[in-house]
Structure 1
Amino acid sequence: MAQEFHLKLITQRSGGGDPIVRERRLEGLEATIGRAPDNDIVLADLSIDPQHARMRFIGPGRIGIESVSGLPFRVAGKSVQSAVVDAAGHPVVAFGEYTLSFAPGEEAEAVEVTVTREDDEHHASPGVFSLQAKVFGRRNMAWVLGSGIFLLCLAIPMIFVLFMANPKIHPDQQWSTGPLSKAHAFMEKDCKSCHANAFVAVRDEACLTCHTADPATAPKALDAARRLGSPFEPRLVAEHAAHADLEKATPLPPGFGRKVSVMVQRTLNHPTDRCASCHVEHTPAKGGDPTAPLSDKPKLVVVQDCESCHSQLKMRLAKTDLIDTPDWSKHPGFRALVMTQAGPKPSFQRVALDTAPQERNGLIFPHRLHLDPLGGVARQAIGLGKAAGYGAALECASCHRRDASGTSFLPIEMERDCADCHSLAYAKVGGELRDLPHGDLDKVVATLAGRTVSASGGSDRTRPGQIRPTAFAASGASAYRATFSRGGACYDCHTITWDGDTVRMAPVKLAAKYLPRGGFDHGVPEHGGPGLAKKGGFKCADCHRAQTSDKSGDVLIPDLAKCGTCHGQTTAKIAAADDADCTTCHSFHKPGQATPKPGHPPLRTLRWTEAITRREAGA
């Protein structure tokens, strides 16, 4: 008998009685778990990700379970990211309010999986406190308790707040549903920091006092957090879009009851699209244990997911430039942000990659020439030797160097990345070489004024410590023109034009990011890169066709189809398979970055001293 899962779904009846039991077989060695309906095991709980985990057979009766979303699950009361269980031990694995109980199946090598949902509701016996009871009827009790709550928790506190300057009771304590998280615990006794107006829900303005990422007001936000006594540096967030557009683009939640609830809240001036709608404070620990440890950050409640807004966005927001994206299979092709004019104020345009766009970055650089393993550049790199950091043909990592975070690359610098092969020496004075200043045309012209450019014969390409050939040896105005003419120090890499006797050089600006609305982490092993690619991963050349590029204006980033090689696939098809969730590349509050994993960054790293150290390190 082949290994397979026998799934048993148990549903409790709301009115009591025997539960409903549904059974089916899951063929294959692997099964997916999550909230989305396309999973093998569907768990309808908002605390569970659409694609939460994957389980598979790793031996007779042994099942390996691993999280694919980054959110943990519980095994034997412990929160874990992966676990191996043996059906013979009847283990229980918990996802949110659901439990998966494993046991050996009746057939050989089969495993029985029983899915149940915890139900904490208790139904009172209709024989006691029923609607028909004369004294303790539910209707009478409801009126008495409701009136008491109104008086004690609304009318009396309102009188104290409005008519007494120094009340001896603290009505705020009656309204607090629980303690603040550790991140906001410093405001425990300063309710007005968030609750600016009595009996009005917390507004976004209160949150943005400390958390706005607007460049004009971000410094004031940090100062406000310090002034309020925060021991942590607040996370600065940007608006996902203009608030008016967000309000129009957000659909009502599914279900008649939820739609009515949202409409009533909005009518009563309790908006459901506030910061506090998703980031909920005063959340008591499960079970209401007052001694339970505080959570580090406010509880995150998923009110809307990406697909609910972006599936029919143009219908609700007609003027948007965004394309409806209901799921990964309908994701539009990449449109790179291409530079159409370099300079101090460069111009950019979004262009589809399938049109072979060209950018005007002012640089002359043929990747094919530099990466040819049999060309002159390769021979020169070999000649420089290992002591100089070469000794072999150039590769991507010879010039593209990772930044401190490991997720991206440092900007190209001529002196660091090019000068080993491209000398800027123009003269030797007192036995010492003099180099032309790089990056400022006016300084180059001033340096050459009245100077002599001289050198011994040799190749046009010069190593450090050498000057260009005598064919360009000249002085005065001739030296000035020779430097910017064919064979001159500036001619090979820069776009040179002449206006009479005045040289013009196109400004150079290299793009730092072609896809500003998405995040891509070069530090992921499956994404490859120098020294990082593992089995199933990729090398630089698999995505960036630099070996065939003769122009620096070529946009050498892959289209969406290359991402689809791994994302949205299974490990049975490709070893580097991964999910295709929106949050893998996009973030609600930080455009151009992936959504951080739950709990990241850890609260302890946000203390002011550690945060400053992290920024200085470039992390």
Structure 2
Amino acid sequence: MKDKKPSSAFDRKDYARPNQDWVCGHLCKGEACRIGPSPKGKCRASFECVPLLDLKPGEGKGQFKCTRPASAGGRCDRGPMPDGSCCNAIPKCQPRRSLRNIRKRVIAFTVIATLLLLCIGIDHRTRDRFVNPGPISSPHASVHFSGLTKEKWGDPSNCAACHESARRNAGAWPGKIGEALSGGLSPHALIRKGPSAPTGMDKNCLACHTGKDFHQPNMAVEFACHTCHKEHGTSGFMPEVANSSCLDCHASAELMSKSREMVAGTDYHAFPSSAGKSAADNPSLRRPEGGYTKVIRDFHDGHPEFRVIRDKVRDVNTLKFNHKLHLSSGEIPELHGKALGCTDCHQTDAQGEYQLPITYEENCAGCHALQFDKDTPGLTLPHGDPFYVRSFLRSLSIQYEEYAKTTEGITSRDTLREYVQNRGRKVEKLYQTGAYMERAVFFADMKGEVPGGRRAPFAGCATCHDVSEPAVDNGAPVIAKVAAPNRWMNVGNFNHSMHVKGLSCLDCHNVMKSELTSDVNLPSIKSCVDCHSPGGGIDHRCITCHSYHNTPPGSLFGEGENKASGKGK
């Protein structure tokens, strides 16, 4: 029996080819095009037909006729265009894989996965490497950490410290897997941008890392520890936090807007950067009203100007100091045969990071020795408590006697008495009365001028300090407390030793023109961006200057934190 031939009206292009890997994207609507996709899945739709030129004998131009098949509706009413093109364009589509192709791929994947699992399961070494997520960081792999894990959970396994399911039997694991996949198996749920939501594992982290809450209470979202801290990546220390972890929040205008709204309803003292006395002593150093919520894309792209520069903060220190005067050659007597330089007063801590606090004993006494009697240059006034200074002056004969014994080596009683009397007569000749001597010591300025029109042979306390009259009768003059800041940028980290290798102090600190104590003399952000940017070639990651939820390196005028850290400015 012979096969029946297809009808002459049948168009081979209409034949459904089940072996093809791609089908028309309009198939689900029942409007699949006759041409169909290419073997590589590209849409080939163009026009419904290719018009045919009907040229009869004797005609010069002829006429184009529609060739649309009857199965597609037959000839159209409009007919071809004058130039011979079809007037009915077929809309483009996005071809889809055919059902047969999908089945073929699923079967191939299943076979390969089955063979792979069999290979892994047969060899225990391969099996162990396959299920092992990688080495853990050295602190978590230490013997000390194992002991801590055993103490807390009764299991010396380091896995049990973080993974709660490791403390249970295998029957509980499917449930934990279900929790991990609570967002579903869709690609957008498995591969999502932004921070991951907190899980039970975060509680295990905080069991050891106490106090590591978020660095600000106006966080618009919460996220898991592993969003920033990546474990199972190295046998050393964990990788440093990437900029992307910070920018997940700080580069999001939506999150920063929500965070800004939360600031209004949050108690000011709840913010860790407001701890200590800095805000109370200098209101201009308080955190911005809207919090640190400016959208930042990078240090060189969106980071605001440093607050002390932006708000033109002034130093409220009562000490009188003139940088320009001290650093100008010829204005100040040389120290050790040379003019004063920055490092004669400013010294870094042992780590080379921050400047140590300036003290009179270490930084001022070398030039300002508080001498009041040129004939006994070794006898100097005490520095500090005004009551102690007044007591020293009122017991001057005893001070001269002790000086004669310890410095001059005089031991004879008669010689000591004569020495003290001679010194006393000279002092009396200079000051006439003890009361005026006390006043000269406290109120004489740099030129020796004392209020009231009198002069002293030396510069008194008022040269550097703000001195006022006694608050009570027979009281000592009041000297305003010096409030030299230990840190100005107390929410950032800085390392001076890394910068002095290629820069001088004057490259960043414009002190040669500074004549007032109120000058802060800190550089603007532009000075930093010149180097810390892609163009400058120096590291410009967030963690270069900022710690996240660690304790701030010290409040502006605080003492407790600075003693603990051993850091100064």
TM value normalised by structure 2: 0.49
Select the structure of larger CA radius of gyration: 2
Q: Give the structure with the higher percent strand.
A: 1
With a CA cutoff of 8 Å and minimum separation of 6, indicate the structure with the bigger relative contact order: 2
Q: Give the structure with the higher percent helix.
A: 2
TM value normalised by structure 1: 0.46
